[in-house]
Structure 1
Amino acid sequence: MSRSGFDAPTFSRIQSDVEEFLLGGPRCYTQSQIAEFAGVSRERADRLWVAMGFAVDDDPDAVMFTQQDADALQGIITMVDRGIISRSSEVAAARALGQSMSRLAEWQVSIIGTHIVDQLTESADDDPEAIRKQILRLGAEIIPAVESLQTYVWKRHIASSTGRNVGNPGEEFSSRILIVGFADIVGYTSLTRGLDPTELNDLLERFESASTEIIGRNFGWVVKTVGDEVMFAVESPRHAAEIALQIQSAVLADHDDPQLRVGLAMGPTLVRFGDLYGSVVNKAARLTSSARPGTVLIDSELAAAVSDDANFKLRHLRPRRVRGIDRLEQYVLRRNLEP
């Protein structure tokens, strides 16, 4: 067993220990119980949880929330009740916080993880239980320091932003195998010329809200949104395919809404400061721009990964030469509706 290759029971125990340390205790609430604690409906609690970028267990009786989770939910509801956050914008506020914190957490984990692996490499102890205790000790040393620094930077940004807006209210990196996707609104540029600011805001809010919920529910995360486009990532090929198809079927689904294009590519991806880089990102972007309105295009790597899944159908298209790629393999991804 290598230091980074723990057996499943040891790895599971380390994960549980780290979670309890970070969240102040074990999981003790179901979805219904945490909603009752905060005095809200389960649907509202789930909506806020998913908006922050987390998945909800398919089993409604699963014990998945800690006391800190319950206190945080109650804190959000209190802010809404006091008028600090309007009820109409609570999901948008939770989503904005979740997206920012998700990117920050990805970067911080790469720093902490690298340090812990370095420390373990220097240790001569190979006993799994001793390694587990060493990881917890290192975490107890590092995480409070990171939390303190993060709080300081946040407060400093609050002070800086307040100063700029007075009188106007209102190098760490890693490589991972990921599926990177883009979803964009077809004809966005011409569309904006025919919409007033309120209509455009409504369109973008519906686009971002629905796509973010689908991505979060399927264990992906939003990397960033830029105008008419959302960029996301996910580790599971099956979940990536589900995200793409659900976005096409459920986002901007009204008769008068513009159509969407979705492109996905799979492979080694550079994760740097919460953003993604590399040829996979380029391929996903090119597939998106090549896709016909209302369709999903994926690359050959992802096609191979989902080819045996009976939930999906693939159609191989003629390879294309696009900017930066001499031969772009492309497959149309559809849901298999046959019994």
Structure 2
Amino acid sequence: MTDHDNDDVPRTFRQADVEQTLLGEEAKYSRDQVAERAGVDLERAQQLWVAMGFPTDPDPDVVMYTDADVDALKLITTMVDTNVVEKSMEVAVARTLGQSMSRLAEWQVGVVNSYIATRIADAEAASESDRDAIRAEARVIAAETVPSIEQLQNYVWRRHLAAASGRALAVDASGDTRNVVAVGFADMVGYTSLTRRLDVDALTSLLEEFESVATGIIARGHGSVVKNVGDEVMFQAATAADAARIALHLHEAFDDRDDVPALRVGIAVGPALARFGDLYGSVVNIAARLTSNAHPGTVLVDSETADALAGQDEFYLKSLRPLRVRGFSKLRTYALRWNKQREASPPS
């Protein structure tokens, strides 16, 4: 099959061309050679490679590694050898980094490929030589885009690193952080049934609008997004008051909108384990349970949140019947809304 036999498929490079262009060099080492050059035993090198999400070849003589792979192995093992990362956490660090970068790479490729696909679609009526020229142009643009994305990615990462460092209260040698935080979930009601009625473009627009608006409100409200999972956003804030304002402003942002379903939000306050960008602990489970039990357009909070908000005139709390949920006996809950005596102002 020739390249021309696949004119209907927007291909930019053969796989080998893509790898060489993005990695900046040809593969020249086998797995034994890369481990030897990095000064790492083969089993450890393969374990780290797989943890980062990269495939391995059963043939030990296959040449698939570069000098950059040697350097990467040296970097992570040096962090362990100098006690920056505990040996027991080495694979977890590699796995978390690999998962995060994999998702980012999938999005970035999608952005570039969308441009390439559009350019090729625009040239359907063009001659074969014109289509070849467009493919060549697309290859150049894709290659030139990578350094820009890399530079922007590094800037955003450093900004988030600075913000996360400022929020950290206590960091132990394993990289785990334990402190009391307010954890919240906000999800779109009826999302599952909605996905059956929407096409891909409409669903993409819905999720983009939800994530964009929610992220802006959370950031302006002095919180941070922990993760987005489809129709749901998980966020954290240093105080119950910040989390409460975020929750209520989220509802205000999506009230009376036909293009986005109603939201329901749950907030809990308590100690949480921060591990590799995620939060764990009963406070997370309580917030999730509150969210799933909240009615559309409402905010449910636990007793710890209610206690922290007591006496603050901007909020009104109504005690509700305890919830019977799995894992928690008679979970005390409160409905949260703005105090009608106060005109709520948007987060600055």
Alignment partner, residue 335 of structure 2: 332
Alignment partner, residue 141 of structure 1: none
Match of 1:240 among 215, 240, 243: 243
Q: Is the Cα–Cα contact under 8 Å of residues 208 and 230 in structure 1 kept in the other structure? A: yes
Deviations 1:200-253 (A, max 9, x none): 111111100111001000110000000000000000221111000000110375
Q: Is the Cα–Cα contact under 8 Å of residues 240 and 308 in structure 2 kept in the other structure? A: yes
TM-score scaled by structure 1? 0.52
Cα deviation for residue 338 of structure 1 reads: 1.8
**Amino acid aligned to 1:192:** T
Unpaired runs of 5+ residues, structure 2, are 1-143, 343-348
Unpaired runs of 5+ residues, structure 1, are 1-82, 116-170
Q: Is the Cα–Cα contact under 8 Å of residues 206 and 259 in structure 2 kept in the other structure? A: no
Matches within 5 A, 1:212-227: 212-227=215-230
Q: Is the Cα–Cα contact under 8 Å of residues 111 and 172 in structure 1 kept in the other structure? A: no
TM-score scaled by structure 2? 0.51
| Separation (CA, whole Å) in 2 of partners of 1:268 and 1:236 | 12
Q: Is the Cα–Cα contact under 8 Å of residues 227 and 234 in structure 2 kept in the other structure? A: yes
Q: Is the Cα–Cα contact under 8 Å of residues 206 and 251 in structure 1 kept in the other structure? A: no
Matches within 5 A, 1:123-134: none
Deviations 1:167-219 (A, max 9, x none): xxxx4212111000000010111000101111111111110011100100011
| Separation (CA, whole Å) in 2 of partners of 1:95 and 1:291 | 37
Q: Is the Cα–Cα contact under 8 Å of residues 104 and 273 in structure 1 kept in the other structure? A: no
**Amino acid aligned to 2:293:** S
| Separation (CA, whole Å) in 2 of partners of 1:194 and 1:212 | 26
For the pair 1:287 / 2:290, whether they are aligned, the reply is: yes
Structure with higher RCO (Cα < 8 A, 6+ apart): 1
The percent of aligned pairs where both chains have the same amino acid is 49
Cα deviation for residue 103 of structure 1 reads: 7.2
For the pair 1:102 / 2:123, whether they are aligned, the reply is: no
| Separation (CA, whole Å) in 1 of partners of 2:266 and 2:193 | 22
Instruction: Name the CA shift for 1:302/1:190 in 2 (closer, same or farther; >3 Å).
Output: same
| Separation (CA, whole Å) in 2 of partners of 1:174 and 1:248 | 30
| Separation (CA, whole Å) in 2 of partners of 1:196 and 1:307 | 45
| Separation (CA, whole Å) in 2 of partners of 1:309 and 1:114 | 35
| Separation (CA, whole Å) in 1 of partners of 2:315 and 2:271 | 24
Q: What is the total number of aligned residue pairs between the two structures?
A: 196
Cα deviation for residue 101 of structure 1 reads: 6.5
Instruction: Name the CA shift for 1:331/1:192 in 2 (closer, same or farther; >3 Å).
Output: same
For the pair 1:229 / 2:287, whether they are aligned, the reply is: no
Output the aligned Cα RMSD: 3.2
Deviations 1:294-334 (A, max 9, x none): 10000000101112111110000000110111121110000
Match of 2:313 among 310, 313, 317: 310
Q: Is the Cα–Cα contact under 8 Å of residues 254 and 260 in structure 2 kept in the other structure? A: no
| Separation (CA, whole Å) in 2 of partners of 1:226 and 1:113 | 27
| Separation (CA, whole Å) in 1 of partners of 2:169 and 2:316 | 40
Matches within 5 A, 1:258-297: 258-297=261-300
State the SS of the aligned residue for 2:226.
strand
| Separation (CA, whole Å) in 2 of partners of 1:107 and 1:276 | 16
In the TM superposition, structure 1's runs of 4+ consecutive aligned residues that sit over 4 Å from their partners are 93-101, 107-115
Looking at CA atoms only, which structure, 1 or 2, has the larger radius of gyration? 2
Alignment partner, residue 320 of structure 1: 323
Alignment partner, residue 190 of structure 1: 193
